[in-house]
Amino acid sequence: MYKKLFIPGPTHVIDEILEATAVPMIGHRSTDYSDLHGALVPKLKQLLYTEERVLLSTSSSTGMMEGSIRNCVNRKALMTDCGAFSKRWAQIARDNGKETEVIKVEMGHAVTPEMVDEKLTQGGFDVVCITHNETSTGVMNPLEEIARVVKKHPGVLLLVDAVSSMSGAEIRVDDWGLDVVLAGTQKCFALPPGLCVVSVSQAAMDRSAEVENKGYYFDFWALEKKSVLNQTPATPVISLINALNVQMDRILAEGVENRFARHAEMAAYVQDWARKRFAIYGDERYLSPTVTNVHNTRGISVADLNKELARRGAMISNGYGPLKETCFRIAHMGDLQMSDVEWITGQIDDVLGL
């Protein structure tokens, strides 16, 4: 049976978008493809408030997390660890032979600008990597403020995993001075998985030009050389690119600020519900607008709850990693609406008799 997804990726995909993936194939060197690519990219630039390049990568987000490390790090990266996805990025850097230092905070807490500033003062770092919205804990790191301190350290690039925030929260690439910002399409964009969007600053391109052994598939310059022709180096996931173009028209019609406000409104509703029925896991000052990590203070069985929700046509998520039993997560991102979050919390109340 079909389940409406309230999990933090993949998220619920509306019929209009599913249908936009089911289009006849076009050749990826045809003018039809170039027209599509060329129509999509300016819309993404508008979403990200950037005049810089936006590249399309056929991969999950993890591919470009690795790619951005390989393009931008000569020697040493300052990584952060505030949950599962930021921890994974640090592992990726090490697996690619890069030296790392890690700012580690407890799950549920945010990385602060002060922590980043203190580490960068040691010197020797090529990049700082930050997970904008840590999906595993429901915490959003203060990106704009972190970007401000990174700017005080010339030569250090700021790489951002915005996988679960891009198009759900404001990200001003140029104003904030973000060098690489990446996100897969299966979270706030509310598309199927398989396509990754990445903005790349000129400083990051310059770095990429001098870094050795950056590999082939994710080379920023290889992508850029084709991107100026509105193409990609290898065959891209044309179906999703078509769907994203349709989705970007919907996003711009809604208005990006309205879209962010809708996410904030859904988040406030779910947070309020969570405080009344359970508790929120995580620092209240940094709660995510796209996913709420509910502290399972009643010790309910999340598996049993999900079984019953499945019968009613919905699915939520258990806690991530070490929080598997002690938390559960409700995502409120993408094309979910206020009526959806009212419905799911009402269903949970009903199942649990709250």
Give the binding site for ligand PLP (CB under 6 A).
Answer: 9, 60-62, 85, 131, 135, 161, 163-164, 184, 187, 193
CB closer to ligand PLP out of 12 and 187 = 187
Cβ atoms within 10 Å, residue 96: 17
Using a CB cutoff of 8 Å and minimum separation of 24, what contacts does 220-224 make?
Answer: 220/55, 220/67, 220/71, 223/55, 223/56, 223/57, 224/53, 224/55, 224/200
Tokens for 265, please give them.
Answer: 């409104």
